[in-house]
Structure 1
Amino acid sequence: MRSDNLKKGDRRAPHRSLLKGLGFVNEEMDKPIIGIANSFNEIIPGHVHLQTLVQSVKDGIRMAGGVPMEFNTIGICDGLAMNHIGMKYSLVTRQIVADSIEATAMATPFDAIVFIPNCDKVVPGMLMAAARLNIPSIFISGGAMLAGVYKGKKIGLSNVFEYVGQFESGKMTAKELNMVEDMACPTCGSCSGMYTANTMNCLTEALGMGLPGNGTVPAVFSERLRLAKKAGMQILEILKADLKPKDIMTKEAFVNAVAVDMALGGSTNTALHLPAVAHDAGVKLTIDDFNEIAARVPQLCKLSPSGEYFIEDLYRAGGVTAVMRRLLENGELDGTQKTVALKTQEELCKEAYINDEDVIKPWDKPAYAGGGLAVLKGNLAELGSVVKAGAVADEMQVHSGPAKVYNSEEEAVDGILGGKVKSGDVVVIRYEGPKGGPGMREMLTPTSVIAGMGLDKEVALLTDGRFSGATRGASIGHVCPEAAVGGTIAVVRDGDIIEIDIPNRTLNVKLSDEEIAARKAELKPYEPEVTGYLKKYALHVGSAVNGAIEEY
């Protein structure tokens, strides 16, 4: 066993002495040591309950004959970090999570690891760590928050951001806004829609790294505790089978995950996270793969923020395995792929049921004819850009309008709330990319304000930063090359006509090649005014088109 480096032989007497200082008894020295990478903190609603969940994991490990050893990693709440400097630190934590777990697990040779993530950057960071370590692993997420209810309608966090726009435009009173903020987040758990956290938890199932239910069982259900206990028990079976993450996370598994992503209408952030995880797994996954799969797989689920249903509804409709069953039946899922359940995806799909065809729509009657995400290219995004196509109104699928250019999110919000953005405009927010931000901030506030003001079917937004998984509308992010490295987005001026064609996957500014080249020749080198970790990040982070991974 890997943990014999801690426990076996005369030369390990000092190591055993330290273990006994932790409370180990001799009888535990012959048992497998199972690491538990926990992301509990009192900052994030999705993580505040994880101490209860980890106890169930430990119970399961002990029941199956293992010895649990828990350690923690960091986490940031994207909602709390939104629309201020804190959001610059969100994406960078994905790397910190991966690095800290790698370091801990290499210094402490566990035989296997149970990963307990829940929110946006923690899930992919832990998947990256699992791929790097490549020892038997299983994921059990904290589960989704239940939706709130306001005036008989289910609501989530994204609605609160949009209601701010309604309040600012006089469509909602301060009392109503206060009522909404009291009701939108009624329980612990990752925010209740198909935002980034829940998308990634669902895709962890699709990759084969989580048991069925990992992505959709609500955080407050006792079933979540039972699933955690099963995960603790199952890791010993995975260890016996010597099944490792790279055995599971193959290229075919990533294709499965992207197909499920398209069917769910997931967050645009998956175009950052899945390629980054694939990179650490030794698999090449590109945004062109996303477009290729989107051409074959329709969006079957219309979940918040682009629809009326929430994760709890997907859970009751049959969950991720039900969606995968739909894909398998239509030839768009590789059922031979391995899973931590020690069954193939096909075997798991055969056990699944589809309980609600309003939530998981029939293949021939999809919510959106194409996949939920689309990659657009053109002279404004030569390497690519990403939009949640299934969340864009029909009238904005093809749009041409004058640019309103802002060099930061704060400038854009001030301009929108100041009445400077009119119907038909294309709001351009630049110098918010991985290097330029740095940190590639999410732009939920500007998109939500636009939606709240009733302009989401009239105004488009594009940025070299990101859009939150809670975003809907014609919001195009990840524009590459970014402004900070001299991409075309850096030379767009107010009034330039921008042409968006989502069905044909194009994004262009109506300028000649000569005019673009002349403007670029006038650009001055850009360096963000940052210190500390952000300076280090800006020096090493790569393009969003490759997952914004660190490059050395």
Structure 2
Amino acid sequence: MSKKKLRSQEWYGRTGKDGIIYRSWMKNQGLPHHLFTGEKPVIGICNTWSELTPCNAHFRDLAEALKRGIWEAGGFPLEFPVMSLGECSIKPTAMLFRNLASMDVEESIRANPMDGVVLMCGCDKTTPSLVMGAASVNLPTLVLSGGPMLVGRFRGKKIGTSDIWRFAEDYKVGRLTQEDMIEVESSMSRSVGHCAPMGTASTMAAMVEALGLALPDNATIPAADSRRKVLAHMAGMRIVEMVKEDLTMDKILTRKAFENSIMVNAAIGGSTNFILHLTAIAKRIGVELDLTDFDHFSSKIPLIANVQPSGEHWVEDLFYAGGMPAVMREIQKHLHTDAITVNGKTIGENISKAECWDRNLIGTLDQPIKPESGIAVLKGNLCPNGAVLKPSAATPSLLKHTGRAVVFEDIDDYKAKVDDPSLDIDENCVMVLKNVGPKGYPGMPEVGNMGLPKKLLEKGVKDMVRISDGRMSGTGFGTVVLHVSPESAIGGPLALVQNGDLIELDVPNRSLNLLISEEEFENRRKSFVPTQLPYERGYVNLFLDKVNQAHEGVDFDFLQGSSGAEVKRDSH
């Protein structure tokens, strides 16, 4: 059987003028000629290192461990940068630029001489953007996450990002001073890595492990733990073998893999942002997936991982208790255990010997941490195309609730009014925030878990029903309805809600309705005026023109569907 020609040889295997052009300038880095002869697969290292993305700021060091593994296995590593999305710094929201970063990744891979790719991901949007871009090219691909940071310590207690919302409330009512808050911020982020709870970053790391795109334990090994570098080394060795096996992404990202990922997300109480990103990835690789799948495949899965914000502990603790393999083993009777993964083994083989070392951290199907988990997908006249809520992070007594709407027309209106003592609101009301969807903000920011009014916090109110067409941080919690689709900025029903309207939330029956007559609905529709957004150039203009709605993954319509890794015509 003849050996398959490496893709990189379409560049480096040329003779004459083209060969000189493709190889000579590469040799100015001290690379010997034999590296270009086709004996060693070229492995692209797609690195999102950036000092403006603190979650990924240790990636230079991690990449060196990865390269060692590639060299050991007989590969030729070449590192390249792509746009890095730092959730805590970038304005107006990293989600606005997820699709742009995915385009950067896709075209960087397709246009350059590489036979396989390792995606180095950490902060929230870096994982989906890299996977989306790579899926559109479909080379052998492996994901290496950066790992969670070590848990913080503040005044004798463990703290992490999910505590920000509690500290913010304490600060608002005067229980913490600004000096206290500075001590908090210095204590919380005490090591390299992304957020310590099961926020979006760790949810994304768990997602790729459940999909089969990452090696076992990728999701939970702390960033500062030496075993993270060992994992990187092993990932480097494995990607070389994947190229030899021609184990491309489409062979891993099957319908079964996506169903597994949804069930695992339920078991860990993962971020609601998971829905948007998994949907977008599925559409890139060509797998049919819709909003109802998230409710259906998570409905039988309780909360297994006792990790904040749905539980009590931290991702670091989850690793010590057995990590994702132990969690997945607890729900294995529901999983497609025959789904193949990047290490060449099935999910079932990868978790067969996993053990739980701490039942306070990892529950069972019979004795779960919480009976309700996963994603509740709501439908009704307020969200014809769907809305979502995370039951494990909500207040049980509010999951069936009817209340009077208190409406904020946009984020600026919310900020101006929420702490006004004259605001007509009580704990039984429903807070409604409009114009924070994909087009309305634009970019769909994480403002859906609106902070409660100061006067209610002072009364001891801890939670209220909140509804928006935006997102919330994976570290957030509360009875929060998100991703209302279609969004208000384009005339979705949310745009028609007025102060004083009654809204009925019924999570057990998966419904969300505005209690007005159809005649009144129609009258309000006639008077609706679309939001005028002041963006006339550049990427944001493209985003507004091409982005689809939340139930479709907030991707660009022209990017859906894998287009393969063909080599474009030479320009020399």
**TM-score, length basis structure 2:** 0.92
- Structure 1 residue 453: deviation in Å? 6.1
- Residues 252-263 of structure 1: pairs in structure 2 closer than 5 A: 252-263=256-267
Query: Which amino acid counterpart does residue 227 of structure 2 have in structure 1?
Result: E
Once the 2 structures are TM-superposed, how far is the Cα of residue 465 of structure 1 from its aligned partner?
1.0
Residue 79 of structure 2 aligns with which residue?
A: 70
Give the CA deviation at 1:268: 0.4
Which residue of structure 1 aligns with residue 486 of structure 2? 481
Residues 85 and 98, structure 2, Cα contact 8 Å, conserved in 1: no
Written as runs of structure 1 = structure 2, the 5 A alignment for 1:491-502 is 491-502=496-507
Query: What displacement does 1:176 show?
Result: 2.7
Q: Deviations over 1:342-397 (max 9, x none)?
A: 11100001121111122111111222323332111111111110111111012211
Shift of 1:298: 1.4
Helix, strand or coil at the partner of 1:239: helix
Q: Distance in 2 between matches of 1:278 and 1:505?
A: 24
Q: 1:197 aligns with which of 194, 201, 210?
A: 201
Tell me which residue corresponds to 2:8: 3
| CA distance, structure 1, for counterparts of residue 216 and residue 461 of structure 2 | 36
Q: In 2, are the aligned partners of 1:136 and 1:238 still within 8 Å (CA)?
A: yes
How far does residue 18 in structure 1 lie from its aligned partner after superposition? Answer: 2.2
The residue type equivalent to 2:44 in the other structure is G
**Which of 535-544 and 14-23 deviates more?**
14-23
| Residue 343 of structure 1 pairs with residue 348 of structure 2 | no
- Does 1:38 find its partner at 2:52? no
Alignment of 1:458-477 (within 5 A): 458-477=463-482
8 Å Cα contact 1:456-1:473 kept in structure 2: no
Number of matched residues? Answer: 545
Q: Which amino acid aligns with 1:204?
A: V
Structure 1 residues 94 and 453, CA gap change in structure 2 (3 angstroms): farther
Offset from partner CA, 1:124-164 (integer Å, 9 cap, x none): 11111221111111111111011112233211123124312
Deviations 1:181-227 (A, max 9, x none): 22111111111111111101111000000001111000000000110
Deviation at 1:80, TM superposition (A): 3.0
Distance 1:20 1:235, change over 3 A: same
Give the Cα separation in 2 of the matches to 1:215 and 1:448: 33
Q: Which runs of 5+ in 1 are unaligned?
A: none
Alpha-carbon separation, structure 2, partners of 1:449 and 1:57 = 48
Measured in 2, the distance between the counterparts of 1:444 and 1:188 equals: 28
Task: Give the equivalent residue in structure 1 for 2:277.
Answer: 273
Moved more, 245-254 or 439-448: 439-448
Tell me what 2:121 maps to. 117
Is the 1:165–1:449 Cα contact (8 Å) retained in structure 2?
no
Alignment of 1:131-530 (within 5 A): 131-328=135-332, 331-419=333-421, 420=423, 421-443=425-447, 446-447=450-451, 457-530=462-535
| Matching residue of 2:551 | 545
Q: Is the 8 A contact 2:47 2:79 kept in 1?
A: yes
* Amino acid in structure 2 at the alignment position of 1:160: I
The structure-2 alpha-carbon separation of the partners of 1:454 and 1:279, relative to structure 1 and needing over 3 Å to count, comes to farther
Task: Name the CA distance, whole Å, in 2 between partners of 1:341 and 1:493.
Answer: 54
1:61 Cα deviation from its structure 2 partner: 0.6
Q: Which residue of 1 aligns with 2:63?
A: 54
Look up the SS of the partner of 2:88 in the other structure: helix
1:455–1:280 distance in 2 versus 1, CA, 3 Å: farther
Kept in 2, the 8 Å contact 1:60–1:229? The answer is: yes
Q: Greater shift after overlay, 443-452 or 273-282?
A: 443-452
Contact 2:449 2:480 in 1 (8 A): no
1:208, 1:253 within 8 Å by CA — same for their partners in 2?
yes
1:505-534 deviation digits (Å, cap 9, x = unpaired): 111111111211111111013332224322
The corresponding residue for 2:566 is none
Listed as ranges, the gaps of 5+ residues in structure 2 are 1-5, 559-572
After superposition, the C-alpha distances for 1:226-285 in whole angstroms (9 at most, x for unaligned) are 100111111111111110111001010000000000111100001100000011111011
The answer on 1:92 being equivalent to 2:101 is no
Percent identical: 36
Equivalent of 1:27, from 30, 34, 39? 34
CA RMSD of aligned residues (A): 1.7
What is the CA-CA distance between 1:455 and the residue it aligns to? 6.3
Q: Contact conserved, 1:163 with 1:452, CA < 8 A, in 2?
A: no
* Inter-partner Cα distance in structure 1 for 2:207 and 2:448: 22
Distance 1:161 1:75, change over 3 A: farther
Alpha-carbon distance in 1 for matches of 2:452, 2:413:
15
Q: Label 1:392 to 1:60 Cα distance change in 2 as closer, same or farther (>3 A).
A: same
Separation of aligned partners in 1, 2:452 and 2:120: 30
* Contact 2:427/2:461 (<8 A) preserved: no
Which residue of 532, 535, 540 maps to 2:541? Answer: 535
| TM-score, with length taken from structure 1 | 0.95
Write the letter of the residue equivalent to 2:472: F
Question: Which deviates further from its counterpart, 312-321 or 152-161?
Answer: 152-161
